[in-house]
């Protein structure tokens, strides 16, 4: 399921789609007429074909009288329909300032073409699920569904009921997505699984447009997420974390408790050259970058490493000499191999062991990607982000007891972070062995996620494993001089369409 009228471009390294039928809840507005003119019009690039009304609050018998008539120019006259939608707002007791509710729903590229009546049923289920027009409520809000393409519809509603009360819709995204899961089963549409809220936030359209206007090579949110992840993997505590971010040229702002001013409860990061029109820095809290990058979750990660590090092991590794870099990667490869064995022996119910081992392995891979590809990233960095999605725990789940091998993996992540960029053939060979061993962890994690019925994460783990093996194979072939270096292609998947994560 995609959002909007045209499919977004597939961006390498992004998470796979959540499912086949996902509604996109658009920002609320005030201009019903303008929105209807667009939906019944030709579109920005003449992509709207045969725009028509397929469902409305008054039922199918009234569609013909509600359908906007054609003008001599060939355009639809939406004035009467807009007036009818606005009537409850004008007569409302306390109408909201932004009263126009807009959602779009699109099905998967592999799905069959649904009929108008099937889409009408989907629209009715969506407005009922989010609570703005419950089934059997004659005084619910007024709404219409418009179809101008074979694979998606738009739903427009005004958020004042016909009895004058305002509908204060809340949490409608999750409610609509829950309804979508049921509709996928009813209609036999492409399914992946329920939303698990482990995907990181994607850049908004405004962020993407601003990035293009400013000629930036990368969207600031993506760059900051990569910098924060690298710093978190290398850090031993939050002071070390903050210092590493500042050394990388990232601005850091700490958030203090309103009850205990000396207590730090969160952080935000920004770039020196990324500002608003008024000149203020654009800040991103850790949770706005990824679910596992909030300060409480990072603290738990660092604490688990210290409590599981064997006595005498390297907690604060120094920078190895150049001739010892390959040995550092060999040590890390051995630790990752042990982690793969532990995951292979784990049961799906061993949630704490799986979670802590996967998180620690994600840190090792993030550190390896930074040592191999630097700050600008590349295929290994993209594979690292995909694996990270597979390693995250569901929303609000707390880790109680980390696996005893976590400390050694965290130490290896810090050791790799200390070696700097790879510079010799031996370094690269040892790093490739580590990449291959990481693919074993990804394979084992995929098996466990499937058994846990965390299907999005299982798919991400499979994708990461294939990507890691592909990277190692291409790099090995290139080093042997058989062919020129090339970026390995993305593995194809039946769910390769990008969608907004939940």
How far is the C-alpha of 152 from the C-alpha of 107, rounded, in Å? 6
Interval 388-411 mean pLDDT: 82
pLDDT over threshold 80, residue 312: no
Note whether 390 and 446 are within 8 A (CB).
yes
- Higher-pLDDT residue of 424 and 283 is 283
Q: With bands split at pLDDT 50, 70 and 90, how would you rate the model's confidence at 170?
A: confident
Query: For the chain, what is the mean pLDDT?
Result: 83
Q: Is 499 in a helix, a strand, or coil?
A: coil
**Tens of pLDDT along 425-472?**
777 888 889 999 999 999 999 999 999 888 888 888 999 999 999 998
How far is the C-alpha of 117 from the C-alpha of 54, rounded, in Å? 7
Q: Is 374 in a helix, a strand, or coil?
A: coil
**Tens of pLDDT along 246-294?**
999 999 999 998 888 889 999 999 999 999 888 899 999 998 898 888 9
How far is the C-alpha of 338 from the C-alpha of 346, rounded, in Å? 12
Give the Å distances, CA to CA, from 337 to 304, 385, 417, 426, 440.
Answer: 20, 20, 19, 19, 8
Q: Calculate the CA 68 to chain-centre distance.
A: 38
Note whether 40 and 145 are within 8 A (CB).
no
Q: Calculate the CA 241 to chain-centre distance.
A: 24
How far is the C-alpha of 293 from the C-alpha of 251, rounded, in Å? 16
**Tens of pLDDT along 66-78?**
999 999 998 999 9
**Tens of pLDDT along 212-228?**
888 888 889 989 999 99
Instruction: Calculate Rg over the CA atoms of the chain.
Output: 26
How far is the C-alpha of 422 from the C-alpha of 489, rounded, in Å? 23
pLDDT over threshold 60, residue 311: no
pLDDT (0 to 100) of residue 323: 56
| Domain architecture of the chain: domains with CATH | 22-187 (3.30.930), 205-479 (no CATH)
pLDDT over threshold 50, residue 301: yes
pLDDT (0 to 100) of residue 217: 86
How far is the C-alpha of 80 from the C-alpha of 78, rounded, in Å? 6
Helix ranges (H only) for 312-424 are 325-345, 351-373, 379-391, 406-419
Question: What is the pTM (predicted TM-score) of this model?
Answer: 0.60
How far is the C-alpha of 133 from the C-alpha of 139, rounded, in Å? 8
pLDDT over threshold 80, residue 129: yes
How far is the C-alpha of 369 from the C-alpha of 428, rounded, in Å? 12
213 Cβ contact list (under 8 Å, min separation 6): none
Give the Å distances, CA to CA, from 11 to 14, 44, 229, 342, 499.
Answer: 6, 23, 20, 33, 11
Backbone dihedral angles phi then psi of residue 157, each to the nearest 5 degrees: -140, 160
Helices and strands (H and E) in the chain: how many: 16, 8
How far is the C-alpha of 174 from the C-alpha of 171, rounded, in Å? 6
The angle at the Cα of 315, spanning 313 to 321, to the nearest 5 degrees, equals: 90
Tokens of 425: 């053939």
Give the Å distances, CA to CA, from 412 to 174, 316, 355.
Answer: 39, 10, 18
Q: Which of 18, 360, 372, 409 is nearest to 200 (CA)?
A: 18
């Amino acid at each position: 399921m995609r959002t909007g009228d045209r499919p977004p471009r597939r961006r390498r390294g992004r998470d796979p789609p959540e499912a086949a039928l996902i509604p996109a809840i658009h920002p609320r507005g005030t201009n019903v007429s303008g929105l209807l003119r667009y939906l019944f019009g030709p579109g920005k690039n003449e992509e709207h074909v045969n725009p028509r009304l397929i469902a409305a609050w008054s039922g199918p018998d009234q569609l013909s009288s509600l359908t906007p008539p054609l003008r001599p120019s060939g355009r639809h006259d939406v004035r009467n329909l807009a007036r009818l939608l606005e009537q409850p707002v004008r007569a409302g007791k306390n109408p909201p300032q932004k009263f126009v509710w807009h959602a779009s729903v699109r099905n998967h590229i592999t799905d069959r073409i649904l009929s108008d009546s099937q889409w009408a049923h989907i629209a009715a289920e969506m407005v009922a699920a989010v609570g703005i027009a419950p089934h059997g409520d004659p005084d619910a809000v007024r709404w219409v569904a418009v179809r101008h393409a074979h694979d998606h519809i738009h739903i427009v509603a005004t958020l004042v009921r016909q009895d004058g009360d305002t509908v204060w819709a809340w949490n409608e995204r999750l409610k609509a997505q829950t309804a979508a899961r049921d509709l996928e089963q009813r209609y036999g549409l492409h399914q992946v699984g329920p939303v698990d809220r482990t995907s990181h936030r994607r850049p908004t359209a405004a962020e993407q447009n601003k990035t293009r206007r400013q000629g930036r090579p990368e969207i600031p949110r993506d760059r900051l997420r990569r910098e924060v992840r690298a710093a978190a993997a290398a850090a031993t505590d939050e002071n070390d974390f903050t210092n590493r971010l500042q050394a990388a040229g990232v601005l850091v702002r700490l958030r203090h408790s309103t009850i205990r001013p000396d207590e730090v409860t969160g952080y935000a990061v920004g770039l020196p050259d990324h500002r608003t029109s008024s000149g203020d820095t654009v800040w991103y809290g850790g949770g706005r970058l990824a679910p596992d990058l909030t300060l409480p979750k990072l603290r738990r990660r660092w604490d688990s490493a210290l409590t599981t590090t064997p006595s005498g092991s390297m907690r604060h590794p120094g920078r190895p000499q150049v001739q010892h870099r390959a040995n550092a990667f060999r040590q890390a490869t051995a630790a990752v191999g042990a982690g793969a064995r532990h995951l292979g022996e784990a049961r799906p119910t061993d949630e704490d062991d799986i979670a802590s081992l996967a998180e620690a392995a994600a840190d090792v891979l993030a550190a390896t990607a930074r040592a191999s590809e630097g700050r600008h990233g590349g295929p290994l960095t993209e594979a690292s982000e995909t694996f990270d999605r597979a390693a995250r725990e569901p929303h609000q789940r707390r880790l109680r007891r980390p696996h005893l091998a976590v400390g050694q993996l965290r130490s290896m992540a810090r050791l790799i972070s200390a070696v700097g960029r790879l510079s010799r053939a031996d370094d690269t060979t040892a790093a490739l062995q580590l990449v291959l061993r990481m693919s074993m962890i990804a394979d084992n994690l995929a098996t466990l996620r499937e058994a846990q019925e965390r299907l999005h994460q299982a798919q991400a783990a499979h994708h990461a494993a294939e990507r890691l093996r592909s990277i190692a194979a291409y790099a090995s072939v290139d080093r042997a001089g058989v062919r020129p270096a090339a970026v390995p292609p993305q593995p194809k998947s039946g769910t390769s369409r990008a969608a907004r994560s939940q």
